[in-house]
Structure 1
Amino acid sequence: MECPECGGERSPFAVPSELRVDLPNEPPFVLLCTRCLAFEPVANPDTEPSNFDTISDALPDHGDSAAAMVLATALLSSLALNRQHIDALFDRVEAAGADPLLVLDRLADDPEIHPDFDIESRRQQLLQLRD
């Protein structure tokens, strides 16, 4: 499936049930572009869901923290609208023992990830908001 934002490959991912409450519309699945991280909630994907940790080696590997980190990063495209969701997802990543701001640094350096926003700028904004 081609991403309408960047033309990259979109894959289906199952959103862990405990993370759904931290996302707008509580989707059971998302179609996520592995290049730009744009996602679309879907009720039922046509193919078998992928694993979030296949997106980047920069992601934490502690249970659902990779999913929480990817989804929080994708929501950074609209920080103003999604701040509450991002904070909740970052709290989950931190509770699993990873530093979400450090993961953002690593994602910004990942040559395969090209979101439609500047990860480093959003990281700085988040740092100011979370202090």
Structure 2
Amino acid sequence: MTCSACGSPTVRFAVPADYRTVLSTAGSISTSVPDDHTHTLDSCTICTHCLVLEFGDDAEAADSEMDGPVPTDPDFSRVSDAFPTTPEQAVPLALAIGLAESLAMNRSAIETLLRDVERAGADPLLVLDRLQRDPSVEPAIDLGRRQHQLEQLLY
């Protein structure tokens, strides 16, 4: 499993049904899907280096060398020591980071996801701060700028 953007390893995870509904309303996902191709939002991968999120069929294509079901307990510690490891915290955070590329189009979905991270017991803004300081992580988006915007969104 390698990232299509940077070639680094990825972590594959299942997207719970509640989050599929949230993602289906996210503007940047639907606009990136070609009309002749049906995307599924059952699984995603997050890159351990650039934090790029690949949805549905893109994740499965990147994961084509791996047979079998999507892991039920993915190892999010491979992303960073700063990244939450419990799926209840890590999945919505990973999805929010993936959607943060386009805050304007995904504002509602990101807000829902970050609130779920908080309800699960993690501080998403603290995690973003720590990810920025992790030398093994080079996010494809400007996390510092996004962190400030996300803070305004949440508070």
TM category, shorter: 0.7 to 0.9
Alignment: residue pair count: 131
What does 1:70-85 correspond to in 2, within 5 Å?
A: 70-85=94-109
Q: Is the 8 A contact 1:52 1:67 kept in 2?
A: no
Partner of 2:110: 86
Gap runs ≥5 in structure 2: 30-39
Structure 1 residue 128 displacement after superposition:
2.2
Of 44-53 and 103-112, more deviation after overlay is shown by 44-53
In the alignment, which of 41, 62, 79 is matched to residue 27 of structure 1? 41
In the alignment, which of 65, 78, 94 is matched to residue 89 of structure 2? 65
Structure 1 residue 63 displacement after superposition:
4.3
Structure 1 residue 11 displacement after superposition:
4.0
Question: What is the CA–CA distance in structure 2 between the aligned matches of 1:100 and 1:34, rounded to whole Å?
Answer: 17
Q: What SS does the aligned partner of 1:22 have?
A: helix
Partner of 1:38: 52
Structure 1 residue 110 displacement after superposition:
1.7
Higher-Rg member (1/2): 2
The alignment yields a C-alpha RMSD, in angstroms, of 2.3
Q: Which has the higher contact order (CA 8 A, sep 6+)?
A: 2
Q: TM-score, normalization: structure 1?
A: 0.82
Partner of 1:124: 148
Gap runs ≥5 in structure 1: none
Question: What is the CA–CA distance in structure 2 between the aligned matches of 1:129 and 1:91, rounded to whole Å?
Answer: 11
The structure with the largest helix share of the pair is: 2
Structure 1 residue 22 displacement after superposition:
2.4
Where has structure 1 moved over 3 Å in runs of 4 or more? 43-46
Identity %: 40
Q: TM-score, normalization: structure 2?
A: 0.71
